[in-house]
Structure 1
Amino acid sequence: MEPRTPRLCCLLLGLLAGWSSALEIISSGPTSIDQASGQSAKLGCEFTLAPEDTGPLDIEWSLVPPDNQKEDVVVIFYSGDRAYPDYHDPMAGRVHFHSADPKNGDASINLINLKPSDSGTFQCKVKKAPGIQTRKMVLNVMVRPSKPRCSTDGATLEGSNIVLRCTSKEGTTPLKYSWEKISDSKLLPASAVLDPVSGTVSVKNVTSSASGSYRCVASNRVGTEDCVLHLKVTPPPNTPGIIAGSIIAVLLILLIIAIVLFCCCRARHRKKYEKEICNEIREDVPPPKSRVSTARSFTVGSQRSSLGSMSPSNLHEYALKTQYDKIPSEEFERPPSHAPLPPPSAATAAAVAARMSGPNLSRMGAIPVMIPAQNRDGSIV
């Protein structure tokens, strides 16, 4: 039994030596690839064959699920000198072999127009009986950062605290942010505190030297984007001057309001005074002219009373003066259709005198009155 042991060992060593020189995958590239969405990726799988590998060549690329309980999903397949690329519908038309003839030792594939859903573990299996070899690669399809937005929080006044913000809405985490000053000294303020995760720069007690242009860069493993912020720090406002100006403005407004109210009150008072003047009865204003009928009745009544009190001796004088005792208003206000009455004639005056004689007046109930005679100059005779 002992002489057979060395022979078995030699046989096993020979078999191992034969297997070691059989089919072998020689790709030495990275087993993990990070690529941006929309770009292309090459998954390398180069191999060599041995003379004893005489079986048919089969090449299979598949997606290995994270759950070991699930089966692998074939992406592309090569067998019988023919490629079958459309095995996986989500990648149909976007995956193909890198070499036109994979049997020459290049089983690498190209994936174009990558999507985040393409991320996963890919396995390359090369089989040529009796040799079989596999190689796994991890593909991470990431979204590059979108163009960030730069902004400031807080008043940009000297002595105040401000925060510079930089945010990208899109991008596969982890995202990193960096700030730099691209003007003047190109150094951030001494009191600046940078947070690369949130993308903020806090500056306390800011001074005018912090004014300038700043650039923020957002980056992840597949790309970078940046934005520029122009910061201008202004001196604090003149608070006493503002207060004084506000007081003056308020006083001017109050003065204008007072003037307007005064003018309104004065106009109202003047209007009221004019209205009272219009309604007031003035003593120096002549009375309104009487009507024709009133004047006429007054004249006739006056004449009758005068005739009743006169004596027969002065009837002739009364008849002569009658034409001068008329009321002026009667002459101007009488309508054109009423002509003035002519003065009484001498015969008429005599008839009136005879009618007004003493016996007749006594019968009528009149009382005789003695009227003193007057001369021409007005003295009593």
Structure 2
Amino acid sequence: MESSPLLRLLWTLLLFRADLSKGVTIASTDQTMITKAQGEKVTLPCTFTFGPQDTGSLDIEWVLLQPNEEQTVIMYNGDRIYDKYKMDGRVEFVNPNPASGDGTIDILNLKASDTGTYQCKVKKPPSVQTHRIQLTVLVKPTNTKCYVEGSQEIGTDLTLKCKSLEGSPIISYYWKKGTGTEDLPATLISNSDTGDLLVKNASQIYSGTYICTASNRVGADECSLELNVTPPINRAGRIAGAIIGTLLGLLLLAFFIFCCLKKQREKKYEKEVHHDIREDVPPPKSRASTARSYIGSNRSSLGSMSPSNMDGYAKTQYNKVPSEEFERPPVQTPNFQPPKVAAPNLSRMGAIPVMIPAQSKDGSIV
């Protein structure tokens, strides 16, 4: 029985498909995800074999797949290597002759920006094969700091803090006491996500060295602190001292303000007095001149009297300075006129001539 033309065509297609399946084959397909730390080196495998029908020129290309484009990393074509692309100087083929069936590459000094999907494409006409690897570059925890938040006194609540300043998530924190593997007291509450270790109702048994370890998928870092729980201090004395210090400060401030205001008033007063010149007010009368005028007038009066009339005046106290009342002019009776005595008669009566000093209008002696 002869086969139909349709059956022969089907057999031909199957044989052709079988021949194609024997073309380029990438063997290292078991590793599709790799995680490394920043600064390290990563090896991306890409080994392959050829089929008998693969007779064209070999072309090996590594690219970094982006959402909208493909960035070439390194190439092998026509027995030449091209690596002046995105990672110039940081990428190389592991085998100097990739045509031998090994297109594996090394990426040196990894950066966080190197994270992405890498594709190895092996092309030897008529066959083409690709293989993809997801690379994740993480930053291991570094610069981890430990410190205590709260008062380290008996009976208080405090928190031991642990935080890495650098590091890719997810970072886990683990606390332990001492330098060994000593477990924490059961009353302490630890949070592995935030790095907090809560200590409630602290007592001296909690004193000691505490070590915190921060870790993620690519590395770990540690820090330590010394917890010293002490008896409470005299809070009343501290409060009283603070109050007294505050009052003294306020008193000093008030005194300083008072001195400044006083100094300002004195300067203002001196300035006003210095400019306050009054030309229409006469100077005050001199009491000394008034007293001298009074004494001189009395002496002239005494000189004009006889010795018999001196008895009443001898009892007058001339050692006293007259008061301001003597400056007032005597009240004279309109009809009374003092008797006039001639000069010769005054001499016969024993009077002594006295020179009366002249006075200005304001009462001062000329």
Whether these two folds match at TM > 0.5 is yes
What's the counterpart of residue 14 of structure 2? 13
Secondary structure at the residue paired with 2:142?
coil
User: Structure 2: how far apart are the matches of 1:23 and 1:194?
Assistant: 55
Q: Percent identity?
A: 42
Instruction: Report the residue type matching 2:84 in the other structure.
Output: D
Identify the residue that residue 330 of structure 2 maps to in structure 1.
Answer: none
Q: 1:113 to 1:6 in 2, by over 3 A?
A: same
**1:10-36 alpha-carbon deviations (Å, 9 max, x no partner):** 222212221222110010342122211
- Between the aligned partners of 1:183 and 1:115, the Cα distance in structure 2 is 34
Tell me if the contact between 1:55 and 1:128 (Cα under 8 Å) persists in the aligned partners. yes
Which 4+ runs in 1 deviate beyond 6 A? none
Contact 2:35/2:135 (<8 A) preserved: yes
SS at match of 1:148: strand
Equivalent position of 2:50 in the other structure? 49
Kindly report which structure 2 residues correspond to 1:311-326, keeping only aligned pairs within 5 A, or say none.
none
Q: 2:72 aligns with which of 52, 71, 74?
A: 74
CA distance in structure 2 between the aligned counterparts of 1:243 and 1:87, rounded to whole angstroms = 72
TM-score, normalised to structure 1, is 0.59
1:145 touches 1:225 (CA, 8 Å); kept in 2? yes
- Cα 1:22–1:184 change in 2 (3 A) is closer
SS in 2 for 1:229: strand
- Residue 164 (1) aligns with residue 160 (2): yes
Q: Which amino acid aligns with 1:211?
A: S
* 8 A contact 1:183–1:212 mirrored in 2: no
Given that 1:124 and 1:134 are in contact with CA atoms closer than 8 Å, whether structure 2 keeps it comes out as yes
Q: 1:196 aligned to 192, 195, 207, which one?
A: 192
Q: Distance in 2 between matches of 1:110 and 1:95?
A: 6
- What does residue range 107-256 of structure 1 map to in structure 2 within 5 Å? 107-182=103-178, 186-237=182-233
CA distance in 1, matches of 2:120, 2:15: 28
Residues 18-75 of structure 1, C-alpha deviations (whole Å, 9 max, x = no match): 122211001034212221111111111111111111111000011110x2xx231111
Secondary structure of 2:23's partner?
coil
Distance 2:3 2:132 in 1: 45
> For residues 151-185 of structure 1, what are the alpha-carbon distances to aligned partners after superposition, in whole Å with 9 as ceiling and x for unaligned?
01111122111100001111112221111112588
Structure 2 SS opposite 1:14: helix
Compared with structure 1, are the counterparts of its residues 243 and 184 closer, same or farther at alpha carbon in structure 2 (3 Å cutoff)? farther
Asked whether the equivalents of residues 178 and 216 of structure 1 are also in contact (C-alpha less than 8 Å), the reply is: yes
- Contact 2:179/2:211 (8 A) holds in 1: no
Normalised TM-score (structure 2): 0.61
Question: Which residue of 1 is the match for residue 81 of structure 2?
Answer: 83
Give the aligned partner of residue 101 of structure 1.
97
Which protein has the larger Cα radius of gyration, Structure 1 or Structure 2? 1
The 2-side partners of 1:74 and 1:164 are apart by 49
Does residue 40 of the first structure (1) align with residue 41 of the second (2)? yes
1-side partners of 2:64 and 2:233: how far apart?
A: 66
**In the alignment, is the contact (CA less than 8 A) between 1:47 and 1:105 conserved in 2?**
yes
Query: Shift of the alpha carbon at 1:133?
Result: 0.3
Describe the SS at the equivalent of 1:168: strand
CA offset digits 1:285-324 (Å, max 9, x no partner)? xxxxxxxxxxxxxxxxxxxxxxxxxxxxxxxxxxxxxxxx
Structure 2 unaligned spans of 5+: 245-366
In 1, distance between residues paired with 2:179 and 2:134? Answer: 43
How far off is 1:226 after superposition? 0.4
* Aligned residues of 1:29 and 1:44 also touching (Cα < 8 A): no
Question: Does structure 2 retain, via aligned residues, the 8 Å contact 1:154–1:161?
Answer: yes
User: What is residue 30 of structure 1 aligned with on the other side?
Assistant: 31
Distance 2:180 2:32 in 1: 45
Q: Equivalent residue for 1:294?
A: none
Per-residue deviation at 1:237?
Answer: 4.0
Which amino acid in structure 1 is aligned with residue 130 of structure 2? T
Contact 1:217 1:225 (C-alpha < 8 Å) held by counterparts: yes
- Summarize the Cα distance change of 1:163–1:224 in structure 2 as closer, same or farther, 3 Å threshold: same
Aligned partner of residue 205 in structure 2, secondary structure: helix
Q: Which residue in the other structure is 1:377 paired with?
A: none
CA distance in 2, matches of 1:40, 1:132: 28
Partner in structure 1 of residue 361 of structure 2: none
Distance in 1 between the 2:69 and 2:206 partners?
A: 60
77-86 or 182-191, which deviates more? 182-191
Cα offset, 1:125, TM superposition? 0.3
Q: How many residues align?
A: 240
Residue type at the aligned position of 1:110:
D
Higher helix proportion:
1
The Cα offsets for residues 201-245 of structure 1, whole Å up to 9 and x where unpaired, read as: 111112222112111111112111001122122233467xx759x
